[in-house]
Amino acid sequence: MSSSTAPEHLNSSGCRIQHSESKGRGVYASRRIERNTVIEISPVLFFGIEEYEKHAKFTILDHYTFKWKDGRMALALGLGSLFNHSSSPNVSYKLDHQTDSIRYETARDIEEDEELCIFYGHKLWFDPVDESISAIDIEPEDGWGGLSTIGNDEGDHKEHSDDVDLNAIVDESSLPFTILKPPPEEEDLESIRTVQAWVVDVPEPRHIATLLKWLKTNGMEDPNLDHLKRVRKQDGKTTLLLSIDPDPPQLPTELELASPFQIPVPSSAALTLNSLGLKATFWPTFYAPKRKGDSETWSCGKVAWAREAMKVVVSEAHRSHLEGELPISAFMPASYEEENQNTALAHDTRTSTSHPLRHAVLNLIRKVADLDLNRGSLSESGPNYLLTGRTVFLSHEPCIMCSMALLHSRVKQVFYLIPMGKTGGCGSVACLPTLPGVNHRFPIFVWKEIVSELGLNETLDA
């Protein structure tokens, strides 16, 4: 890839170029760098599609170029082309289509001499060396449920070799995890799960538009009510759904409405037409026949993505253990289908903070909220703690409190490695997303590869 010496670099943001045996040149921190620091802005050089297909593709440039939004191939100048890949990157990047450049920003605090890596994506063209994982030297029986062994089996490298079709569907019985699916849909009146909601009768239909606007400007467009219609017209009466807060909302006085009152409304969308009819007897509900995550198929590439994420979790658990924390960690990777998303990594900090609630999951959700705040997107993307559409990987089954926090954050799905027999809220003691009355459900994946042979550390069940 390169000669064995690296050139000096006059970067003022604490970056230097260094050579390593396994990866060629890379970018390293010449001093400690705080998280969220912009460490490089690389201008981009473009190749036209034809120019690339006919010429550049057959040269060394093929190792450095990537697809820009409009289909052209781009080459980052400056340090941009020298960041190596890691599945647990410490640098994130953003393509700036206005200035044709790429901004690189530290995703966490960086220590002096640490390598700065970005995430290239899931379809790598080389066998990756992931130093952030291999650098952690843990004895095989580490007393923490053998976290060190995950993913170090032979199957790992196969995912990256040319003769594996990344799109090939993996049969459910061959998956490295078992799937705990949410229970079947409620099909009789008694089993319909409901939640108490505030509603108000609106005698003047023209006031509905005013009230809908009022709900919006008062931040009352609750995603927990997305499965319900806002207005019910029944027996010549128009009624508006307001909120599921415990306290009654204060309505605008000028409309002279009667007081709001509480009624039970369905807590989830209808999956079948039969259920739709039953739910409508409570409140008009949306019909969403395909439940998210229910019929998900797993390709080889997607399984490799999940395995990589599990490795990040394990690595983080070890790292935090070395720092004196409980080895419990949580990771939200970019989705398999959308590689440019934010990622967040957290671990349990109950020991260092002497705070009983600093569990890995809660720390992760806090980090996600911080990410959104940093991007100033609070008002555009809704409540900033939401994990809608995102997958969370955990070293341990979340406790009941953390399971509820994940549910409240509307997480898409959760993977965990080690069940927590005494405290677990995703299958062991209870299974929160399947409880009657909860307003969000998510599938749970329990990692079974290798872990099936491991003993649990009882003292960790806290």
- Residue, CB closest to ligand SAM: 24
Does 23 sit near ligand SAM (CB under 6 A)? Answer: yes
Pick 85 or 230: Cβ nearer ligand SAM: 85
How many CB atoms lie under 10 A from the CB of residue 460?
19
Task: State the nearest-atom distance from the C-beta of 308 to ligand SAM, in Å.
Answer: 12
- CA separation for the pair 261, 199 (Å, rounded): 6
Does 304 sit near ligand SAM (CB under 6 A)? Answer: no
Segment interacting with ligand SAM (CB under 6 A) among 77-85, 279-287, 328-336, 404-412? 77-85
SS3 content of the chain, % helix, strand, coil (to 5): 25, 25, 50
Segment interacting with ligand SAM (CB under 6 A) among 24-32, 219-227, 331-339, 385-393? 24-32
The structure tokens listed for 283 are 């409140």
Least Cα distance to 336 among 170, 453, 167, 130 occurs for 167
Beta strands in 73-112 (DSSP E): 73-76, 84-85, 91-96, 101-106
- CA separation for the pair 287, 265 (Å, rounded): 15
- CA separation for the pair 227, 246 (Å, rounded): 19
Does 74 sit near ligand SAM (CB under 6 A)? Answer: no
Pick 92 or 423: Cβ nearer ligand SAM: 92
Alpha carbon of 392 to those of 6, 46, 334: distances in Å? 38, 36, 10
Question: Which residue among 43, 78, 128, 383 contacts ligand SAM (CB under 6 A)?
Answer: 128
Task: State the nearest-atom distance from the C-beta of 28 to ligand SAM, in Å.
Answer: 12
Least Cα distance to 36 among 320, 454, 371, 313 occurs for 371
Question: Which residue among 29, 33, 73, 82 contacts ligand SAM (CB under 6 A)?
Answer: 82
Task: State the nearest-atom distance from the C-beta of 84 to ligand SAM, in Å.
Answer: 3
Does 57 sit near ligand SAM (CB under 6 A)? Answer: no
Segment interacting with ligand SAM (CB under 6 A) among 126-134, 304-312, 351-359, 444-452? 126-134
Question: Which residue among 84, 88, 267, 275 contacts ligand SAM (CB under 6 A)?
Answer: 84
With a CB cutoff of 8 Å and minimum separation 6, the contacts of 171 are none
Within 281-335, residue ranges assigned H as helices are 300-322
Pick 110 or 386: Cβ nearer ligand SAM: 110
Strand pairing of 177-180 and 73-76?
Answer: unpaired
Does 81 sit near ligand SAM (CB under 6 A)? Answer: yes
Does 85 sit near ligand SAM (CB under 6 A)? Answer: yes
Task: State the nearest-atom distance from the C-beta of 65 to ligand SAM, in Å.
Answer: 9
Does 114 sit near ligand SAM (CB under 6 A)? Answer: no
Segment interacting with ligand SAM (CB under 6 A) among 76-84, 233-241, 287-295, 372-380? 76-84
Does 35 sit near ligand SAM (CB under 6 A)? Answer: no
Question: Which residue among 24, 43, 143, 249 contacts ligand SAM (CB under 6 A)?
Answer: 24
Task: State the nearest-atom distance from the C-beta of 129 to ligand SAM, in Å.
Answer: 4
219: alpha, beta or left, given left = phi > 0 and alpha = psi -120 to 50? left
Identity of the amino acid at 56: A
Whose tokens are 């003769």? That residue is: 163
Least Cα distance to 218 among 171, 252, 172 occurs for 252
Does 25 sit near ligand SAM (CB under 6 A)? Answer: yes
Question: Which residue among 126, 264, 355, 436 contacts ligand SAM (CB under 6 A)?
Answer: 126
Question: Which residue among 14, 26, 146, 151 contacts ligand SAM (CB under 6 A)?
Answer: 26
Task: State the nearest-atom distance from the C-beta of 292 to ligand SAM, in Å.
Answer: 33
Where does residue 405 rank: exposed (0-12), middle (13-18), buried (19+ CB within 10 A)?
Answer: buried
Interacting residues toward ligand SAM by CB under 6 A: 1-2, 22-26, 63-64, 81-82, 84-86, 126, 128-130
